[in-house]
Every structure is written in structure tokens, then in C-alpha cells.
Amino acid sequence: MSLNEQQRTKLVELYLSKSDDLMVDAQICITQKRWNAAANRLYYALFNAVAALFVHDHFTVGTHNGVKILFGKEYVLTGLATSEEGKLLSQMESMRERADYDVTFVATEETINERAIPVANMINHLKELINREE
């Protein structure tokens, strides 16, 4: 899909707005002690922020695994993101998949609380990357 700069800017804004909304949803799930739902919302908040960065930087990816691979290659390996951020993206995707599809899996309060702030911090870092001077 070829976007002009106005379209690209709008799509980035939409992804970031969705990311922000999903973080609010995650906090509601945390308050309600709905740990699997919180895992889902935290991952998708992060996923949408990564998608915004990819659109901004003219990258296209079609799968969740492709997002992890491209993020590692273009951001972690180049030093724009930390290896911890790359690991967090992978951990959140894995936890979301288990929470959504594995009926025997239950995310824990401890696991969600350990990841909520790092996810928020990573989203803020992704927003900084989007707003960086080129």
C-alpha cells in the first residue's frame, strides 16, 4: 500500500490513538483483576504503537511474528530500541496468544503488574522515535 505523507501521518495518529485507548482498557482490566484480558489489551496497545512506528518509517508487515522480526532487525539491532524492548514485545505477544487461545493458561496479577509499566514506557519510547528528527 502506497501512502502519501498526509495519509501516512493520519494513519500514524490513528494507530497511536488506538494504542492509547487500549492502554486505558488494560488499566480497566487490571482494576477488575481480569488478567488474561489485561494481557491482551497490553499487547495490542504495544502492537499498535509499533505499527504506528512502522508506518511512520515506511515499513509494512503482515503478521505478528513479522512485527517482532522487523522490530528486532530495524530498531533493536540498530540501537534505536533496547534488547529489553525487543524481549518485551516478544513476551507480550506470547502471553497474549496464550491468554487468548490456551484454556489452561491464566495470566497472574504479578505477571501483569510486572509488565504494565514497561509496556507504557516502551510505548512512550516508540512515540519519541516517531517524533525524532530525521
pLDDT recorded at residue 62: 85
- Nearest in space to 19 (alpha carbons), one of 43, 54, 55: 43
**Number of domains the chain is built from:** 1
Cell representation of residue 16:
497511536
Q: Which residues contact 70 (CB under 8 A, 6 or more apart)?
A: 54, 59, 61
pLDDT recorded at residue 1: 58
Task: Give the model confidence (pLDDT) of 80-109 as tens digits.
Answer: 999 999 999 999 999 999 999 999 999 999
Q: Which CATH number covers residue 126?
A: 1.20.120.330
Identify the domain containing residue 48 by its residue range.
5-130
Residue ranges, the chain, pLDDT below 70: 1, 134
Question: How many CB atoms are closer than 10 A to CB 97?
Answer: 15
pLDDT recorded at residue 67: 95
pLDDT recorded at residue 130: 97
